Chain A
Amino acid sequence: MKPISRRLFIEETGLGILSTTVLPSVTGSPVEAQVNSPAVSAPRTKITIKVNDVSHHLEVEDRWTLAETLRDHLELTGTKIGCDRGECGACTVLLNEKPIYSCSYLSVWADGQSIQTVEGLAHGDHLDPLQQAFIEHDGPQCGYCTSGQLMSARALLNHNPSPTAKEVRRALSGNICRCSNYNRYVESILAAAKRGQKHA
Protein backbone atom coordinates (compact mmCIF):
# COMPACT_ATOMS: atom_id res chain seq x y z
CA MET A 1 0.00 0.00 0.00
CA LYS A 2 1.26 3.46 -0.87
CA PRO A 3 2.17 5.28 2.35
CA ILE A 4 0.18 8.45 2.84
CA SER A 5 2.24 11.35 4.09
CA ARG A 6 0.62 14.34 5.77
CA ARG A 7 1.71 16.54 2.87
CA LEU A 8 0.20 14.16 0.30
CA PHE A 9 -3.03 13.98 2.27
CA ILE A 10 -3.34 17.75 2.46
CA GLU A 11 -2.47 18.20 -1.21
CA GLU A 12 -5.02 15.62 -2.35
CA THR A 13 -7.75 16.89 -0.07
CA GLY A 14 -6.95 20.39 -1.29
CA LEU A 15 -7.35 19.21 -4.87
CA GLY A 16 -10.73 17.79 -3.99
CA ILE A 17 -11.87 21.10 -2.60
CA LEU A 18 -10.51 22.89 -5.64
CA SER A 19 -12.36 20.63 -8.07
CA THR A 20 -15.67 21.13 -6.32
CA THR A 21 -15.15 24.88 -6.44
CA VAL A 22 -14.34 24.79 -10.13
CA LEU A 23 -17.23 22.53 -11.14
CA PRO A 24 -20.04 25.11 -11.07
CA SER A 25 -18.07 27.44 -13.33
CA VAL A 26 -17.58 24.64 -15.86
CA THR A 27 -21.30 24.09 -16.03
CA GLY A 28 -21.87 27.83 -16.36
CA SER A 29 -23.64 28.14 -13.02
CA PRO A 30 -24.14 31.67 -11.63
CA VAL A 31 -21.81 30.67 -8.78
CA GLU A 32 -18.93 31.55 -11.12
CA ALA A 33 -19.70 35.25 -11.02
CA GLN A 34 -19.84 35.21 -7.23
CA VAL A 35 -16.52 33.44 -6.98
CA ASN A 36 -14.74 35.78 -9.34
CA SER A 37 -16.03 39.13 -8.12
CA PRO A 38 -15.85 39.86 -4.42
CA ALA A 39 -19.12 40.84 -2.81
CA VAL A 40 -17.75 44.22 -1.77
CA SER A 41 -15.14 46.03 -3.82
CA ALA A 42 -12.42 47.18 -1.45
CA PRO A 43 -10.07 50.08 -2.17
CA ARG A 44 -6.78 49.02 -3.75
CA THR A 45 -3.33 50.61 -3.92
CA LYS A 46 -0.26 49.89 -6.02
CA ILE A 47 2.82 49.24 -3.93
CA THR A 48 6.40 48.11 -4.37
CA ILE A 49 7.89 45.90 -1.70
CA LYS A 50 11.21 44.14 -1.61
CA VAL A 51 10.88 40.63 -0.22
CA ASN A 52 14.02 38.58 0.34
CA ASP A 53 15.87 40.99 -1.98
CA VAL A 54 13.35 40.62 -4.81
CA SER A 55 11.23 43.64 -5.75
CA HIS A 56 7.53 43.06 -6.26
CA HIS A 57 5.13 45.53 -7.86
CA LEU A 58 1.67 44.68 -6.58
CA GLU A 59 -1.82 46.04 -6.42
CA VAL A 60 -3.10 45.24 -2.94
CA GLU A 61 -6.36 45.86 -1.17
CA ASP A 62 -5.75 48.49 1.49
CA ARG A 63 -7.11 46.06 4.09
CA TRP A 64 -4.68 43.25 3.28
CA THR A 65 -2.21 42.60 6.03
CA LEU A 66 1.39 41.96 5.09
CA ALA A 67 0.92 38.34 6.15
CA GLU A 68 -1.99 37.94 3.71
CA THR A 69 -0.03 39.51 0.86
CA LEU A 70 3.01 37.34 1.51
CA ARG A 71 1.04 34.11 1.82
CA ASP A 72 -1.87 34.52 -0.55
CA HIS A 73 -0.40 36.69 -3.27
CA LEU A 74 3.36 36.04 -3.25
CA GLU A 75 2.94 32.38 -2.30
CA LEU A 76 5.45 32.74 0.53
CA THR A 77 3.57 30.44 2.86
CA GLY A 78 6.50 29.89 5.22
CA THR A 79 5.10 32.83 7.19
CA LYS A 80 2.24 31.42 9.26
CA ILE A 81 -0.91 33.04 10.58
CA GLY A 82 -1.79 31.80 14.06
CA CYS A 83 -3.94 34.22 16.04
CA ASP A 84 -4.12 37.00 13.41
CA ARG A 85 -4.11 39.49 16.33
CA GLY A 86 -0.43 40.11 17.05
CA GLU A 87 -0.48 37.74 19.99
CA CYS A 88 1.31 34.56 18.94
CA GLY A 89 4.27 35.53 16.75
CA ALA A 90 3.85 32.84 14.05
CA CYS A 91 3.66 35.62 11.43
CA THR A 92 6.92 37.31 12.46
CA VAL A 93 8.90 38.74 9.53
CA LEU A 94 11.67 41.33 9.43
CA LEU A 95 10.64 44.77 8.20
CA ASN A 96 13.77 46.80 7.51
CA GLU A 97 15.63 44.20 9.60
CA LYS A 98 13.34 44.50 12.63
CA PRO A 99 10.93 41.76 13.68
CA ILE A 100 7.26 42.69 13.39
CA TYR A 101 3.93 40.86 13.37
CA SER A 102 2.98 40.75 9.69
CA CYS A 103 -0.65 39.97 10.64
CA SER A 104 -0.86 43.36 12.33
CA TYR A 105 0.76 45.50 9.65
CA LEU A 106 -0.95 46.57 6.45
CA SER A 107 0.70 45.82 3.12
CA VAL A 108 0.17 49.44 2.04
CA TRP A 109 2.25 50.58 5.03
CA ALA A 110 5.11 48.40 3.76
CA ASP A 111 5.26 50.25 0.42
CA GLY A 112 8.90 50.94 -0.44
CA GLN A 113 10.15 48.85 2.47
CA SER A 114 12.33 45.78 2.66
CA ILE A 115 10.99 42.53 4.10
CA GLN A 116 12.70 39.31 5.00
CA THR A 117 10.71 36.11 5.46
CA VAL A 118 11.76 32.62 6.49
CA GLU A 119 12.16 31.76 2.80
CA GLY A 120 15.04 34.26 2.66
CA LEU A 121 17.12 32.50 5.33
CA ALA A 122 18.54 29.56 3.38
CA HIS A 123 20.56 29.95 0.20
CA GLY A 124 19.74 26.91 -1.89
CA ASP A 125 20.70 23.89 0.17
CA HIS A 126 22.84 26.01 2.44
CA LEU A 127 20.78 26.51 5.57
CA ASP A 128 21.05 29.49 7.89
CA PRO A 129 23.06 28.41 10.95
CA LEU A 130 19.90 28.94 12.98
CA GLN A 131 17.94 26.52 10.81
CA GLN A 132 20.75 23.96 11.11
CA ALA A 133 20.82 24.38 14.89
CA PHE A 134 17.01 24.11 15.07
CA ILE A 135 17.28 20.71 13.33
CA GLU A 136 20.20 19.48 15.44
CA HIS A 137 18.63 20.53 18.75
CA ASP A 138 15.04 19.53 17.97
CA GLY A 139 13.83 23.12 18.19
CA PRO A 140 10.50 22.56 16.41
CA GLN A 141 7.88 20.10 17.60
CA CYS A 142 4.70 20.70 15.59
CA GLY A 143 6.62 23.37 13.66
CA TYR A 144 3.84 25.91 13.26
CA CYS A 145 5.60 28.63 15.27
CA THR A 146 9.06 27.79 13.90
CA SER A 147 9.34 30.30 11.08
CA GLY A 148 8.38 33.07 13.50
CA GLN A 149 10.90 31.83 16.08
CA LEU A 150 13.57 31.76 13.37
CA MET A 151 12.89 35.33 12.30
CA SER A 152 13.00 36.69 15.86
CA ALA A 153 16.21 34.75 16.44
CA ARG A 154 17.72 36.02 13.18
CA ALA A 155 16.95 39.63 14.16
CA LEU A 156 18.61 39.03 17.53
CA LEU A 157 21.80 37.48 16.14
CA ASN A 158 22.08 40.18 13.46
CA HIS A 159 22.65 42.83 16.12
CA ASN A 160 23.86 40.67 18.99
CA PRO A 161 25.92 37.74 17.64
CA SER A 162 26.66 36.23 21.05
CA PRO A 163 23.60 36.71 23.28
CA THR A 164 23.11 35.28 26.74
CA ALA A 165 20.28 32.82 27.40
CA LYS A 166 18.39 35.63 29.09
CA GLU A 167 18.75 37.86 26.04
CA VAL A 168 17.54 35.03 23.81
CA ARG A 169 14.47 34.47 25.98
CA ARG A 170 13.68 38.16 25.92
CA ALA A 171 14.13 38.42 22.14
CA LEU A 172 11.76 35.47 21.70
CA SER A 173 9.21 36.69 24.23
CA GLY A 174 6.82 37.63 21.42
CA ASN A 175 6.76 34.14 19.92
CA ILE A 176 4.49 31.62 21.56
CA CYS A 177 5.15 27.89 21.13
CA ARG A 178 1.99 25.84 21.66
CA CYS A 179 4.16 22.72 22.16
CA SER A 180 6.08 24.66 24.80
CA ASN A 181 9.48 23.71 23.42
CA TYR A 182 11.01 26.98 24.56
CA ASN A 183 14.10 25.47 26.17
CA ARG A 184 15.08 23.68 22.95
CA TYR A 185 14.62 26.89 20.98
CA VAL A 186 16.86 28.78 23.38
CA GLU A 187 19.40 25.94 23.24
CA SER A 188 19.31 25.97 19.41
CA ILE A 189 19.87 29.70 19.20
CA LEU A 190 22.74 29.66 21.69
CA ALA A 191 24.31 26.81 19.69
CA ALA A 192 23.97 28.74 16.43
CA ALA A 193 25.51 31.80 18.06
CA LYS A 194 28.36 29.74 19.51
CA ARG A 195 29.15 28.39 16.09
CA GLY A 196 29.79 32.03 15.27
CA GLN A 197 28.50 31.87 11.76
CA LYS A 198 26.98 35.25 11.23
CA HIS A 199 24.55 35.00 8.37
CA ALA A 200 25.67 36.86 5.25
Chain B
Amino acid sequence: MKGFTNVNPKNLTQAVTLLSQAQESGKKAAIAGGGSDLLGMIKDDLVSPDLLVNLKSVGGLDKIESNTSGLKIGGSVTLATLSQHPLIRSKYKALAEAADSVATPQIRNTATLAGNLCQRPWCWYFRAGFPCFKAGGRKCYSVMGENQLHAIFGGGPSFIVHPSDTAPALVALDASFHVIGPAGERVASAAEFFILPSKNAATENILQPNEILAEIHIPAPPQQTKSTYAKIMDRATWTHAVISAAVSLEMSNGVCKRASIVLGGVAPIPWPLPKVGQMLAGQKLTAQLAAQAGEVAVSGAHPLAKNGYKIPLTKALVRRTLLSLAA
Protein backbone atom coordinates (compact mmCIF):
# COMPACT_ATOMS: atom_id res chain seq x y z
CA MET B 1 0.00 0.00 0.00
CA LYS B 2 1.19 3.51 -0.79
CA GLY B 3 2.53 5.55 2.13
CA PHE B 4 0.35 8.06 3.95
CA THR B 5 0.10 9.79 7.30
CA ASN B 6 -2.68 8.88 9.71
CA VAL B 7 -3.94 11.67 11.96
CA ASN B 8 -6.22 11.31 14.98
CA PRO B 9 -8.33 14.46 15.50
CA LYS B 10 -9.98 14.75 18.91
CA ASN B 11 -13.07 16.56 17.63
CA LEU B 12 -14.85 17.42 14.39
CA THR B 13 -13.50 20.98 14.27
CA GLN B 14 -9.97 19.58 14.29
CA ALA B 15 -10.93 17.02 11.67
CA VAL B 16 -12.32 19.69 9.33
CA THR B 17 -9.24 21.88 9.93
CA LEU B 18 -6.93 18.97 9.06
CA LEU B 19 -8.88 18.34 5.85
CA SER B 20 -8.81 22.04 4.89
CA GLN B 21 -5.09 22.41 5.69
CA ALA B 22 -4.28 19.38 3.57
CA GLN B 23 -6.20 20.84 0.65
CA GLU B 24 -4.47 24.23 1.03
CA SER B 25 -1.06 22.59 0.97
CA GLY B 26 -1.92 20.60 -2.14
CA LYS B 27 -2.20 17.28 -0.35
CA LYS B 28 -4.91 14.72 -0.86
CA ALA B 29 -6.82 13.80 2.28
CA ALA B 30 -9.32 11.03 2.93
CA ILE B 31 -11.75 10.52 5.78
CA ALA B 32 -11.46 7.15 7.50
CA GLY B 33 -14.55 6.01 9.39
CA GLY B 34 -14.27 2.26 9.83
CA GLY B 35 -11.71 2.35 7.05
CA SER B 36 -12.40 -1.04 5.53
CA ASP B 37 -13.61 0.30 2.19
CA LEU B 38 -11.05 3.13 2.12
CA LEU B 39 -8.10 0.77 2.62
CA GLY B 40 -9.37 -1.47 -0.17
CA MET B 41 -9.58 1.53 -2.50
CA ILE B 42 -6.05 2.63 -1.57
CA LYS B 43 -4.71 -0.89 -2.19
CA ASP B 44 -6.45 -0.92 -5.58
CA ASP B 45 -5.02 2.53 -6.46
CA LEU B 46 -8.51 3.98 -6.85
CA VAL B 47 -7.59 6.72 -4.38
CA SER B 48 -4.15 7.76 -3.19
CA PRO B 49 -4.46 10.01 -0.14
CA ASP B 50 -1.42 11.59 1.53
CA LEU B 51 -3.38 12.02 4.75
CA LEU B 52 -5.94 9.81 6.47
CA VAL B 53 -8.16 11.67 8.92
CA ASN B 54 -9.19 8.95 11.35
CA LEU B 55 -12.63 9.67 12.81
CA LYS B 56 -12.37 6.82 15.34
CA SER B 57 -10.45 9.25 17.58
CA VAL B 58 -13.22 11.87 17.56
CA GLY B 59 -14.89 11.74 20.97
CA GLY B 60 -18.64 11.24 21.15
CA LEU B 61 -19.11 10.44 17.46
CA ASP B 62 -19.96 6.82 18.31
CA LYS B 63 -22.95 7.64 20.55
CA ILE B 64 -26.65 6.91 20.14
CA GLU B 65 -28.95 9.27 22.02
CA SER B 66 -32.68 8.92 22.26
CA ASN B 67 -35.44 11.09 23.64
CA THR B 68 -39.16 11.53 23.03
CA SER B 69 -38.60 13.43 19.79
CA GLY B 70 -36.41 10.76 18.26
CA LEU B 71 -32.94 9.39 17.82
CA LYS B 72 -29.50 10.95 17.26
CA ILE B 73 -26.90 8.60 15.87
CA GLY B 74 -23.25 9.61 15.62
CA GLY B 75 -21.65 8.95 12.25
CA SER B 76 -19.07 6.62 13.78
CA VAL B 77 -21.60 4.22 15.31
CA THR B 78 -20.81 0.80 13.86
CA LEU B 79 -23.31 -1.22 11.88
CA ALA B 80 -23.03 -3.99 14.49
CA THR B 81 -24.01 -1.56 17.25
CA LEU B 82 -26.97 -0.29 15.21
CA SER B 83 -28.22 -3.79 14.43
CA GLN B 84 -28.05 -4.87 18.08
CA HIS B 85 -29.47 -1.71 19.70
CA PRO B 86 -32.72 -2.68 21.50
CA LEU B 87 -34.54 0.60 20.79
CA ILE B 88 -33.54 0.61 17.10
CA ARG B 89 -34.58 -3.03 16.81
CA SER B 90 -38.02 -2.23 18.18
CA LYS B 91 -38.94 1.29 17.00
CA TYR B 92 -36.67 1.79 13.97
CA LYS B 93 -36.60 -1.78 12.80
CA ALA B 94 -35.92 -1.02 9.13
CA LEU B 95 -32.59 0.55 10.14
CA ALA B 96 -31.60 -2.34 12.41
CA GLU B 97 -32.45 -4.86 9.71
CA ALA B 98 -30.64 -2.86 7.03
CA ALA B 99 -27.50 -2.56 9.17
CA ASP B 100 -27.67 -6.27 9.97
CA SER B 101 -27.87 -7.16 6.28
CA VAL B 102 -24.60 -5.44 5.36
CA ALA B 103 -21.58 -7.61 4.45
CA THR B 104 -20.24 -9.79 7.26
CA PRO B 105 -19.89 -9.74 11.07
CA GLN B 106 -16.25 -8.60 10.69
CA ILE B 107 -17.21 -5.68 8.44
CA ARG B 108 -20.17 -4.70 10.62
CA ASN B 109 -17.89 -4.57 13.66
CA THR B 110 -15.74 -1.84 12.10
CA ALA B 111 -17.89 -0.22 9.39
CA THR B 112 -19.69 2.93 10.48
CA LEU B 113 -23.09 4.33 9.61
CA ALA B 114 -21.60 7.43 7.95
CA GLY B 115 -19.16 5.25 6.04
CA ASN B 116 -21.92 2.97 4.83
CA LEU B 117 -23.89 6.01 3.62
CA CYS B 118 -20.89 7.67 1.93
CA GLN B 119 -19.24 4.57 0.41
CA ARG B 120 -18.34 4.82 -3.24
CA PRO B 121 -20.23 2.74 -5.81
CA TRP B 122 -19.44 -0.95 -6.22
CA CYS B 123 -19.96 -0.95 -9.99
CA TRP B 124 -17.41 -3.42 -11.33
CA TYR B 125 -16.12 -0.93 -13.91
CA PHE B 126 -15.43 1.74 -11.28
CA ARG B 127 -13.85 -0.74 -8.87
CA ALA B 128 -11.70 -2.22 -11.64
CA GLY B 129 -10.21 1.19 -12.36
CA PHE B 130 -12.07 2.11 -15.56
CA PRO B 131 -11.98 5.90 -16.17
CA CYS B 132 -15.75 6.23 -15.77
CA PHE B 133 -17.82 9.19 -14.55
CA LYS B 134 -17.33 8.04 -10.96
CA ALA B 135 -13.56 8.12 -11.43
CA GLY B 136 -13.75 11.62 -12.93
CA GLY B 137 -13.97 10.39 -16.52
CA ARG B 138 -16.56 11.02 -19.24
CA LYS B 139 -18.11 7.63 -19.84
CA CYS B 140 -20.30 5.01 -18.21
CA TYR B 141 -19.02 1.61 -19.36
CA SER B 142 -22.12 -0.22 -18.13
CA VAL B 143 -24.39 1.33 -20.79
CA MET B 144 -23.06 -0.89 -23.57
CA GLY B 145 -21.40 -3.39 -21.24
CA GLU B 146 -22.13 -5.71 -18.37
CA ASN B 147 -25.08 -4.00 -16.72
CA GLN B 148 -26.76 -6.89 -14.90
CA LEU B 149 -26.56 -5.10 -11.56
CA HIS B 150 -27.11 -1.55 -12.75
CA ALA B 151 -29.88 1.03 -12.46
CA ILE B 152 -33.41 0.68 -13.81
CA PHE B 153 -34.45 4.08 -12.40
CA GLY B 154 -32.70 7.46 -12.39
CA GLY B 155 -29.78 6.38 -14.54
CA GLY B 156 -27.80 8.63 -16.86
CA PRO B 157 -25.18 9.57 -17.57
CA SER B 158 -23.92 7.08 -14.94
CA PHE B 159 -25.95 3.96 -14.23
CA ILE B 160 -24.51 2.90 -10.87
CA VAL B 161 -26.81 1.73 -8.12
CA HIS B 162 -26.31 3.21 -4.69
CA PRO B 163 -24.71 0.44 -2.61
CA SER B 164 -25.84 1.41 0.89
CA ASP B 165 -28.42 -0.70 2.74
CA THR B 166 -28.92 1.82 5.51
CA ALA B 167 -29.64 4.67 3.03
CA PRO B 168 -33.08 3.44 1.85
CA ALA B 169 -34.02 2.68 5.46
CA LEU B 170 -33.09 6.20 6.57
CA VAL B 171 -35.01 7.81 3.70
CA ALA B 172 -38.07 5.71 4.60
CA LEU B 173 -37.71 6.75 8.26
CA ASP B 174 -37.54 10.50 7.33
CA ALA B 175 -34.04 10.91 8.75
CA SER B 176 -32.00 14.09 8.48
CA PHE B 177 -28.26 14.24 7.94
CA HIS B 178 -26.07 16.70 9.85
CA VAL B 179 -22.97 17.74 7.96
CA ILE B 180 -19.99 19.60 9.46
CA GLY B 181 -17.65 21.58 7.25
CA PRO B 182 -15.42 24.65 7.15
CA ALA B 183 -18.54 26.87 7.06
CA GLY B 184 -20.12 25.17 10.08
CA GLU B 185 -23.06 22.80 10.24
CA ARG B 186 -25.80 22.23 7.67
CA VAL B 187 -28.69 19.83 7.66
CA ALA B 188 -30.23 17.95 4.74
CA SER B 189 -33.04 15.44 4.68
CA ALA B 190 -31.91 11.90 3.87
CA ALA B 191 -33.70 12.20 0.53
CA GLU B 192 -31.88 15.46 -0.34
CA PHE B 193 -28.48 14.12 0.75
CA PHE B 194 -28.18 11.70 -2.17
CA ILE B 195 -27.97 13.17 -5.66
CA LEU B 196 -28.55 11.76 -9.11
CA PRO B 197 -25.73 11.53 -11.67
CA SER B 198 -27.68 13.95 -13.88
CA LYS B 199 -26.88 16.57 -11.23
CA ASN B 200 -23.26 15.51 -10.64
CA ALA B 201 -22.03 12.23 -12.06
CA ALA B 202 -18.73 12.28 -10.19
CA THR B 203 -20.26 11.98 -6.73
CA GLU B 204 -23.20 10.32 -4.97
CA ASN B 205 -24.12 12.95 -2.39
CA ILE B 206 -24.08 16.64 -1.50
CA LEU B 207 -20.88 16.49 0.58
CA GLN B 208 -18.41 19.16 -0.48
CA PRO B 209 -14.64 18.80 -0.06
CA ASN B 210 -13.68 18.89 3.63
CA GLU B 211 -17.22 18.19 4.83
CA ILE B 212 -17.99 15.32 7.19
CA LEU B 213 -21.29 13.50 7.70
CA ALA B 214 -21.40 13.84 11.48
CA GLU B 215 -24.80 12.81 12.77
CA ILE B 216 -28.06 11.24 11.67
CA HIS B 217 -31.34 12.26 13.30
CA ILE B 218 -34.49 10.17 13.01
CA PRO B 219 -37.83 11.52 14.24
CA ALA B 220 -39.72 9.25 16.64
CA PRO B 221 -42.23 7.32 14.54
CA PRO B 222 -45.92 7.83 15.34
CA GLN B 223 -47.66 5.14 17.38
CA GLN B 224 -48.64 2.06 15.38
CA THR B 225 -45.76 2.49 12.95
CA LYS B 226 -44.07 -0.63 11.68
CA SER B 227 -41.01 -0.72 9.47
CA THR B 228 -38.86 -3.34 7.83
CA TYR B 229 -35.98 -3.78 5.36
CA ALA B 230 -36.03 -6.64 2.86
CA LYS B 231 -32.98 -7.42 0.75
CA ILE B 232 -32.59 -9.69 -2.25
CA MET B 233 -29.03 -10.85 -2.92
CA ASP B 234 -27.59 -13.11 -5.60
CA ARG B 235 -26.27 -15.34 -2.81
CA ALA B 236 -27.41 -15.91 0.76
CA THR B 237 -25.03 -13.44 2.39
CA TRP B 238 -22.07 -11.10 2.07
CA THR B 239 -23.04 -8.94 -0.85
CA HIS B 240 -24.90 -5.83 -1.85
CA ALA B 241 -28.59 -5.76 -2.62
CA VAL B 242 -29.65 -6.79 -6.10
CA ILE B 243 -32.84 -5.08 -4.98
CA SER B 244 -33.98 -4.05 -1.53
CA ALA B 245 -37.02 -2.35 -0.06
CA ALA B 246 -37.32 -0.26 3.08
CA VAL B 247 -40.94 0.14 4.11
CA SER B 248 -42.46 2.15 6.93
CA LEU B 249 -46.22 1.90 7.52
CA GLU B 250 -48.27 3.90 9.98
CA MET B 251 -51.33 1.79 10.67
CA SER B 252 -54.63 2.51 12.39
CA ASN B 253 -57.19 -0.26 12.96
CA GLY B 254 -55.85 -2.30 10.06
CA VAL B 255 -55.88 0.70 7.75
CA CYS B 256 -52.70 2.21 6.38
CA LYS B 257 -52.56 5.89 7.38
CA ARG B 258 -49.19 6.65 5.82
CA ALA B 259 -46.76 4.54 3.82
CA SER B 260 -43.18 5.21 2.85
CA ILE B 261 -41.49 2.80 0.46
CA VAL B 262 -37.89 3.29 -0.67
CA LEU B 263 -35.99 0.92 -2.95
CA GLY B 264 -32.30 0.07 -2.91
CA GLY B 265 -30.26 -1.54 -5.68
CA VAL B 266 -32.35 -0.04 -8.50
CA ALA B 267 -31.09 3.54 -8.85
CA PRO B 268 -28.04 5.76 -8.26
CA ILE B 269 -29.81 7.02 -5.11
CA PRO B 270 -32.20 5.40 -2.62
CA TRP B 271 -35.32 5.38 -4.79
CA PRO B 272 -38.53 6.56 -3.09
CA LEU B 273 -41.92 5.42 -4.41
CA PRO B 274 -44.26 8.32 -3.55
CA LYS B 275 -47.00 7.06 -5.90
CA VAL B 276 -47.13 3.76 -4.03
CA GLY B 277 -47.33 5.66 -0.75
CA GLN B 278 -50.26 7.70 -2.09
CA MET B 279 -52.20 4.67 -3.31
CA LEU B 280 -51.81 2.89 0.05
CA ALA B 281 -52.83 5.84 2.24
CA GLY B 282 -56.25 5.29 3.81
CA GLN B 283 -56.52 1.75 2.49
CA LYS B 284 -56.72 -1.65 4.11
CA LEU B 285 -53.63 -3.56 3.06
CA THR B 286 -54.95 -6.57 1.17
CA ALA B 287 -53.09 -9.02 -1.05
CA GLN B 288 -54.73 -7.40 -4.06
CA LEU B 289 -53.64 -3.91 -3.05
CA ALA B 290 -50.09 -5.12 -2.37
CA ALA B 291 -49.96 -6.64 -5.86
CA GLN B 292 -51.18 -3.36 -7.36
CA ALA B 293 -48.50 -1.54 -5.36
CA GLY B 294 -45.90 -3.81 -6.96
CA GLU B 295 -47.17 -2.85 -10.43
CA VAL B 296 -47.12 0.88 -9.63
CA ALA B 297 -43.62 0.50 -8.14
CA VAL B 298 -42.07 -0.26 -11.52
CA SER B 299 -43.86 2.41 -13.55
CA GLY B 300 -41.24 4.61 -15.16
CA ALA B 301 -38.50 1.99 -14.98
CA HIS B 302 -35.97 1.89 -17.84
CA PRO B 303 -34.05 -1.36 -17.77
CA LEU B 304 -30.77 -1.72 -19.63
CA ALA B 305 -29.95 -4.70 -21.86
CA LYS B 306 -29.19 -7.15 -19.06
CA ASN B 307 -31.09 -6.01 -15.99
CA GLY B 308 -34.72 -6.39 -17.08
CA TYR B 309 -35.10 -9.14 -14.49
CA LYS B 310 -35.15 -6.41 -11.86
CA ILE B 311 -38.67 -5.40 -12.96
CA PRO B 312 -40.55 -8.57 -11.90
CA LEU B 313 -38.20 -8.86 -8.91
CA THR B 314 -39.11 -5.33 -7.79
CA LYS B 315 -42.84 -6.03 -8.17
CA ALA B 316 -42.55 -9.16 -6.09
CA LEU B 317 -40.37 -7.58 -3.43
CA VAL B 318 -42.70 -4.60 -2.94
CA ARG B 319 -45.75 -6.89 -2.75
CA ARG B 320 -44.15 -9.34 -0.32
CA THR B 321 -42.62 -6.69 1.92
CA LEU B 322 -45.92 -4.82 2.27
CA LEU B 323 -47.75 -8.03 3.11
CA SER B 324 -45.11 -9.04 5.64
CA LEU B 325 -45.79 -5.80 7.52
CA ALA B 326 -49.56 -6.00 7.15
CA ALA B 327 -49.64 -9.49 8.66
- Compute how far the CA of A174 lies from the CA of B103 in the bound complex, rounded to whole angstroms: 8
Contacting B at CB under 8 A, from A81-110, are 84-86, 89, 92, 95, 98-101, 104-106, 108-109
Contact (Cβ within 8 A) A42 B104: no
Whether, in the assembled complex, B309 has its beta carbon less than 8 Å from a beta carbon of chain A, the answer is no
Contact (Cβ within 8 A) B1 A173: no
Select B5's contact among A62, A86, A89, A109, beta carbons within 8 Å: A62
Contact (Cβ within 8 A) A104 B105: no
Whether, in the assembled complex, A146 has its beta carbon less than 8 Å from a beta carbon of chain B, the answer is no
Q: A86-B40, A105-B35, A173-B238 in contact; A63/B1 too (CB < 8 A)? A: yes
Q: A98-B80, A99-B106, A173-B104 in contact; A108/B6 too (CB < 8 A)? A: yes
Interface footprint category on A: 20 to 34
- Compute how far the CA of A5 lies from the CA of B255 in the bound complex, rounded to whole angstroms: 72
Select A100's contact among B44, B109, B237, B238, beta carbons within 8 Å: B109
B interface footprint on A32-50 (CB within 8 Å = 1, 0 otherwise) = 0000000011110100000
B interface footprint on A153-175 (CB within 8 Å = 1, 0 otherwise) = 00100000000000000110110
- Compute how far the CA of A3 lies from the CA of B86 in the bound complex, rounded to whole angstroms: 59
Contact (Cβ within 8 A) A89 B35: no
- Compute how far the CA of A44 lies from the CA of B129 in the bound complex, rounded to whole angstroms: 29
Which residue of chain B has the shortest Cβ distance to A174 in the bound complex?
B104
Which residue of chain B has the shortest Cβ distance to A107 in the bound complex?
B6
Which residue of chain A has the shortest Cβ distance to B110 in the bound complex?
A100
Contact (Cβ within 8 A) B107 A174: yes
Q: With a CB–CB cut-off of 8 A, which chain A residues contact B3?
A: 40-43, 61-63
Whether, in the assembled complex, B43 has its beta carbon less than 8 Å from a beta carbon of chain A, the answer is yes
Q: With a CB–CB cut-off of 8 A, which chain A residues contact B36?
A: 86, 101, 104-105
- Compute how far the CA of A2 lies from the CA of B108 in the bound complex, rounded to whole angstroms: 49
In the assembled complex, the CB of B108 is this many whole angstroms from the nearest CB of chain A, namely 9
Which residue of chain A has the shortest Cβ distance to B39 in the bound complex?
A104
Which residue of chain B has the shortest Cβ distance to A62 in the bound complex?
B6
Select A173's contact among B2, B5, B105, B110, beta carbons within 8 Å: B105
Q: A100-B110, A101-B36 in contact; A63/B54 too (CB < 8 A)? A: no
Interface footprint category on B: 20 to 34
Which residue of chain A has the shortest Cβ distance to B1 in the bound complex?
A63
- Compute how far the CA of A108 lies from the CA of B52 in the bound complex, rounded to whole angstroms: 11
Q: With a CB–CB cut-off of 8 A, which chain A residues contact B56?
A: 109
- Compute how far the CA of A92 lies from the CA of B1 in the bound complex, rounded to whole angstroms: 20
Q: With a CB–CB cut-off of 8 A, which chain A residues contact B105?
A: 99, 152, 155, 170-171, 173-174
Q: With a CB–CB cut-off of 8 A, which chain A residues contact B54?
A: 108-109
A interface footprint on B53-76 (CB within 8 Å = 1, 0 otherwise) = 010100000000000000000000
Whether, in the assembled complex, A65 has its beta carbon less than 8 Å from a beta carbon of chain B, the answer is yes
Contacting A at CB under 8 A, from B17-56, are 32, 35-36, 39-40, 43-44, 52, 54, 56
Contact (Cβ within 8 A) A86 B106: yes
Contact (Cβ within 8 A) A109 B35: yes
Q: With a CB–CB cut-off of 8 A, which chain A residues contact B104?
A: 89, 173-174
- Compute how far the CA of A43 lies from the CA of B51 in the bound complex, rounded to whole angstroms: 10
Which residue of chain B has the shortest Cβ distance to A63 in the bound complex?
B1
In the assembled complex, the CB of B311 is this many whole angstroms from the nearest CB of chain A, namely 29
A interface footprint on B92-107 (CB within 8 Å = 1, 0 otherwise) = 0000000000011111
Contact (Cβ within 8 A) B5 A84: no
- Compute how far the CA of A124 lies from the CA of B40 in the bound complex, rounded to whole angstroms: 36
- Compute how far the CA of A99 lies from the CA of B44 in the bound complex, rounded to whole angstroms: 24
Most chain B beta carbons < 10 A, residue from A65, A89, A174: A174
In the assembled complex, the CB of A65 is this many whole angstroms from the nearest CB of chain B, namely 7
Most chain B beta carbons < 10 A, residue from A45, A95, A98: A98
- Compute how far the CA of A42 lies from the CA of B2 in the bound complex, rounded to whole angstroms: 8
Contact (Cβ within 8 A) A85 B4: no
- Compute how far the CA of A163 lies from the CA of B308 in the bound complex, rounded to whole angstroms: 40
Q: With a CB–CB cut-off of 8 A, which chain B residues contact A45?
A: 6
Q: A63-B1, A65-B39, A84-B43 in contact; A106/B106 too (CB < 8 A)? A: no
- Compute how far the CA of A92 lies from the CA of B56 in the bound complex, rounded to whole angstroms: 20
Select B106's contact among A40, A84, A108, A174, beta carbons within 8 Å: A174
- Compute how far the CA of A99 lies from the CA of B56 in the bound complex, rounded to whole angstroms: 17
Contact (Cβ within 8 A) A101 B107: yes
6 residue pairs of the A-B complex, CB under 8 angstroms, read A101-B106, A104-B39, A105-B110, A106-B35, A106-B52, A174-B103
In the complex, besides A98-B109, A109-B32, A174-B107, 19 extra interface pairs with C-beta distance below 8 angstroms are A42-B4, A61-B3, A63-B2, A63-B4, A86-B36, A86-B106, A98-B80, A104-B35, A105-B36, A105-B39, A105-B110, A106-B32, A109-B54, A152-B106, A155-B105, A170-B105, A170-B237, A173-B104, A174-B103
